[in-house]
Structure 1
Amino acid sequence: MNIAISLTGGKKVAATFPDGLQLVTDQPVEQGGEGSAPSPFACFLGAIGTCAGFYVLEFCTARNIPTAGISLDQTVEFEQDDQGKRRPSRVTITVNLPPSFPEKYRDAVVRAANLCTVKKALLTPPEFSLDFRVA
């Protein structure tokens, strides 16, 4: 998959996907941005929770379980690494279920959320390669 990344002005950076959809990021005002969009790192963290949410949605859809009242809460804990930079040390996701959610599926829906492919990519990270080209 090729994703085109463009610098769109100010502190904004956009990713354009092959299907034409675009993800725009910005930096918070205190870091020189306009705060008009999530930062790249916030998008990364949000991708973990939205991926888990997608698996919850698919689980419920496959079993005709209504999704009204279902939500997820994601908490990220940080620690400082050896260079003094903050890095996430723990991500906790809680699947909030309404009382009407079938009891027999409560543990299973959490297992479904745990199938998140974004989380799996973090557990087995890809190799990164950066280069330049003069165009």
Structure 2
Amino acid sequence: MASETFVTFPGGKRVDTTIGNHVIRTDQPVASGGEDSAPSPFNLFMAAIGTCAGIYVLGFCQKRELPTDGIRLRQRAHFDPETGVLARVELDIEVPPTFPEKYREALVRVADQCAVKKAIQAQPAFEVKTVVAAG
């Protein structure tokens, strides 16, 4: 099974992708020649990790009718100082003092089920090629 998206270049350093009925816009920071009109592709990648974990946390709370006020995920990216490559991602699920202690570790377990994280850990193969579009 394959899913398909289309990537286009609307001008400047902007690169957009169309996924179904949605367009996700990206741009580069001003320091990299962009206009900073949208997140960079790498920032969207990082946001996908956090929001994926977040949807699992949200679903857990909603299923148990636990309030989500005051819950947030804090994500930190750590890079290898020699290569600049992403080396570690930390996710802290911040809960208010009133959040039931008996569910705190369960939140960690559900956030750990994030499909984006699992896809990264599976180390999928990448195949990049040039094809000539039908005229």
Q: CA deviation at 1:121?
A: 0.6
Give the deviation of 1:99 after TM superposition: 1.2
Deviation per CA, 1:69-102, whole angstroms, max 9, x where unpaired? 100100111014xxx5411111000000011111
% identity of equivalent residues = 48
Give 2:117's match in structure 1, choosing from 104, 119, 128: 119
CA distance in 2 between partners of 1:4 and 1:85 (Å): 30
RMSD: 1.0
- Using structure 1 for the length normalisation, give the TM-score: 0.93
Unaligned runs of 5+ in 2: none
Residues 50-129 of structure 1: matches in 2 within 5 Å? 50-80=51-81, 85-129=83-127
Partner of 2:85, secondary structure, is: strand
Q: CA deviation at 1:134?
A: 2.0
Give runs of ≥4 in structure 1 deviating > 4 Å: none
1:118 partner letter: V
Amino acid at match of 1:119: K
Q: Residue type of the partner of 2:77?
A: V
Give the number of aligned pairs: 131
TM-score by length of 2: 0.93
